[in-house]
Amino acid sequence: MAKEIERKFLVLSQAYRELGQGKAYHQGYLAENDRAVVRVRTIDRQGFLTVKSATLGLVREEFEFEIGYEEACEMLEKLCQKPTIKKRRYKVPHQGLVWEVDEFELENQGLVVAELELPSTDHAFEKPDWVGREVTHDKRYYNTELVRHPYQEWRGEP
């Protein structure tokens, strides 16, 4: 069982594009309750099934399994809550850590979020110049929430 310690931030500029290469992600949610969420995802031509515990502060339990790409696509099409999430993810190294920058598409077009996975909750880090305000505790930025309430519907919200 892996633990995920993650922080989320808004992105101020596209400078990260020069520092990493983007990959196509498509993900959807099969089940969600107050204890866990089950996600299916494709990354380019790979499929994954992930179970994550509900967030407890910054720490979550995470179980991820590789599955067939075709099966993942079928689950995304037939079983997942709509809309699904499409995004391009850039992995950008910075001072020994890797920032994951998600450029959302379709119903979430215009939203760009940077995530940072940390080895511990008290691990010190420095934000790159292109990283802005922290939104870790703002549920609107959770991918599960972006399915229910896409960014394009926010109407004047920051």
* Residue 55's pLDDT band (cuts 50, 70, 90): confident
Choosing from 16, 25, 29, 151, the catalytic residue is 29
* Residue 57's pLDDT band (cuts 50, 70, 90): low
Is 29 one of the annotated active-site residues of the chain?
Answer: yes
All domains in the chain, ordered by first residue: 2-153 (2.40.320.10)
Looking at the predicted structure, is the pLDDT value of residue 9 above 90? yes
Q: What is the mean pLDDT of the chain?
A: 93
**pTM for the complete prediction?**
0.91
Looking at the predicted structure, is the pLDDT value of residue 4 above 90? no
* Residue 39's pLDDT band (cuts 50, 70, 90): very high
Distance CA(33)–CA(35), nearest Å, equals: 5
3-state secondary structure 91-114: EEEECCEEEEEEEECHHHCCCEEE
